[in-house]
Amino acid sequence: MTTTNDSGERPEHAEGGRYTTKGKEFVRDTRYITTRITADGADGYPVEPGRYRLVAARACPWANRAIIVRRLLGLEDAISLGLPGPTHDARSWTFDLDPDGKDPVLGIHRLQEAYFRRDPDYSRGITVPAMVDVPTGAVVTNDFAQITLDFSGQWREHHRPGAPDLYPQRHREEIDAVNDRVFREVNNGVYRCGFAGSQEAYDKAYGRLFAALDWLEERLSGQRYLVGETLTEADVRLFTTLVRFDAVYHGHFKCNRNKLSEMPALWGYARDLFQTPGFGDTIDFAQIKQHYYIVHTDINPTQIVPQGPDLSGWLTPHGRESLGGRPFGDGTAPGPVRPGEEVTPGHNPLVVTGN
């Protein structure tokens, strides 16, 4: 589990990187394996359909981004998907959802094995998402922010017909600015609250988080999407935090000034995205809750997973169409979820039965 050693580090925390509580304030280790898979193969790993496997746990918001972008762009034929279970121990994510607890493509029980094939002395967090080179079994990169940008740019030749442009050139400066604030104050902000090591650190983190959510509430009151008239990378990055807010962050991380469902614009925006193909159909609420409440024993030592909240509200009308915008621009929505990649029935209000 995410135990703490004498230095204050949780050495194998697996959501976006190792972190410390330096000065009793949460500090995320953002040193990643920054090798890139590119069309020109400049780093030694060229874009090549079938060569790489995306390992991405549904429970993790950072990994969930990559699952969404892969689906929106239609990269399922080009990049296979490995799904670890929702919990892990101090060593690694494990493939306990697969027969015999072994990834059927990589042939490994623990993601740690792929990291050690890249670097036998690797000492940082065994994180998801990770892109793994199937022929060698070695991790290429775990730089979650760059992975999705490269899906949009470097893998363009292999996008499905009608795939959206999630990182349009004309909006990149604004997308980057929004992403930076959302990462610092919201995506990472909920963790800064949850893992604060003092009342002072928590109070500061809490104030920063809700100031940013108030900014987003105002911004989204007058526009359907975060940047421009269509879905972009910015919407993907915010969504994976919002969709976990009431189920986990409100209680488990003490982000409890109000629920997401009590912020009209943000709640409508989140429901709009959830009901858009490629977003909500990747969400497994049961795995999300199991991960946070079982793995974080320093916060929840009993490992009791709450029954709530009621998820039916995610399917209620959101009315965001009145703000205009075209989710996929000149493109089209992705088709049905690929067989074998569906969320378990009952773990998501969109997936009630196996049909």
Is the separation of the CB atoms in 195 and 247 below 8 Å?
A: no
Amino acid at 75: L
Sorted by sequence, the CB contacts under 8 Å of residue 80 that are 6+ apart come out as: 50, 52, 53, 54, 105, 134
Is the separation of the CB atoms in 161 and 333 below 8 Å?
A: no
Instruction: Please identify every residue annotated as catalytic.
Output: 60, 191
Strands 19-20, 52-55: pairing is unpaired
Name the DSSP class of 113: H
Is the separation of the CB atoms in 242 and 68 below 8 Å?
A: no
CB atoms closer than 10 angstroms to residue 193 = 24
Amino acid at 73: L
Is the separation of the CB atoms in 85 and 294 below 8 Å?
A: no
Name the DSSP class of 187: I
For 236, the token pair is 């993907």
Q: Which stretch of DSSP H or E encloses residue 9?
A: strand 9-10
Nearest to 57 by CA among 280, 234, 290, 267: 290
Report how far apart, in Å, the C-alpha atoms of 164 and of each of 48, 72, 160, 176, 335 are: 21, 7, 9, 18, 13
Strands (E), 39-160: 52-55, 80-82, 130-133, 138-141
Please state, in angstroms and rounded to a whole number, the distance separating the CA atoms of residues 348 and 295: 21
CA 10, 14, 19, 21 torsion: positive or negative?
negative
Is the separation of the CB atoms in 241 and 226 below 8 Å?
A: no
